[in-house]
Homo-oligomer: A and B are copies of this chain.
Amino acid sequence: MATTIRDVAERAGVSVATASRVLTGSRPVSPELAERVIQATRELGYRHNAVARALRRGHTNAMGMVVPEIGNPFFPTIVEAVERRLQETGRDLFLCDAQQDPDLERRRVLALIGRQVDGLVIVPVSATASGASLAEAKGHTPLVQVDRYVEGVDTDWVGVDDTAGITMAVEHVVSCGARRLACVSATPDSSAGRRRLLGFQEAVMRLGLPTDGPPLLGSFTAEWGRVAAGRIVAEKHLPDAVVCGNDEIAVGVLGEFRRRGVRVPLDVLVTGFDDIRFAALADPPLTTVRQPHERIAEECIRLLDARIADPDAPIQRIALEPTLVVRESTQRLW
């Protein structure tokens, strides 16, 4: 059906070896023959079969990436950064969505490995349920976890220092005069959820702040933010500030507060985490903790390449420093 290198060779009147050599440049070929070959490929519209090539070569010049849910706006940011990095070295990226489902995540990981990707970037769905897939994958291909991670699986990891980030947010609102802080975040189901929660609790304790009831834990979605905000409003009195586990939650919180007539930042301060695209466009623009996604991508590829080069090198876990981005949602003159 499709034209093969054999067809090209035939048309050019050379052997397949010669055709392959001019097409890949793996060895010099005389100008006349080379010309004939590229002429033939043009005439036949030949495209090399990457599957056959991968089979023979044993590598594919492509990376795989699996994210929990591409609809979560933080992941596209990181995907794009990784993509850009990879492009610098001419490699392709195949992206898969796990739909927040560890079973599906496993399928995707195996599918990519089966496709002989040269390495795998994965943001695991769950700090626990993703463990098995990762351990399995690790035996088959170089692998680096990004952002979230699962414990007990010894792989490289790069992400942000969640604890430091939340601490920044807490200290910032406190410096704005807040004393009673509420926390709306996600269950400690993912490492991000766990560490951000921990960071909040530590900071509050260290600063000796009164606690405003237990943290409200749901999922990293705007929907959960709305619900949680509803509960906060239902309490007898508002906290001074609401520290959210990510920007989506914060946006949900802002929306519900607005609907209920709670004014931000006048009545209460709100912070997010991640600095997604819409954080600056929220109403009011959201103070948040920015993840250095370009640096994360950079380290991610660096780790992966190092792992490819030496599968037995000691594993590395790199927590990059986030930065605080102050916007109107915490601008109050006390």
A291 at interface, CB cutoff 8 A: no
Q: How far is the CA of A225 from the CA of B266 in the complex (A)?
A: 27
Known: A94-B96, A251-B278. A87 touches B104 (CB 8 A): yes
Q: How far is the CA of A84 from the CA of B54 in the complex (A)?
A: 29
Q: Chain B residues near A71: list those with CB within 8 A.
A: 76-77, 80, 277
Pick the contact of A115 from B50, B84, B280 — CB < 8 Å? Answer: B50
Pick the contact of A92 from B108, B222, B251, B285 — CB < 8 Å? Answer: B108
Q: How far is the CA of A104 from the CA of B73 in the complex (A)?
A: 23
Contact A48 B92 (CB under 8 A): no
Contact with B along A240-256 (1 / 0, CB 8 A): 00000000000110110
Copy total for this chain: 2
Q: Chain B residues near A104: list those with CB within 8 A.
A: 87
Pick the contact of A281 from B47, B51, B96, B222 — CB < 8 Å? Answer: B222
Contact B115 A115 (CB under 8 A): yes
Contact A99 B84 (CB under 8 A): yes
Pick the contact of A50 from B47, B116, B283, B285 — CB < 8 Å? Answer: B116
Contact B95 A95 (CB under 8 A): yes
Pick the contact of A47 from B83, B96, B99, B110 — CB < 8 Å? Answer: B110
Smallest CB separation, A12 vs chain B (Å): 21
Q: Chain B residues near A94: list those with CB within 8 A.
A: 94-96, 115
Contact A70 B62 (CB under 8 A): no
Contact B111 A92 (CB under 8 A): yes
A45 at interface, CB cutoff 8 A: yes
Pick the contact of A140 from B2, B96, B282, B285 — CB < 8 Å? Answer: B2
A50-B116, A71-B80 given; 16 more Cβ-contact pairs under 8 Å: A45-B139, A47-B140, A49-B116, A53-B114, A62-B111, A70-B76, A70-B95, A71-B277, A80-B97, A83-B97, A83-B99, A92-B107, A92-B108, A252-B281, A281-B282, A283-B283
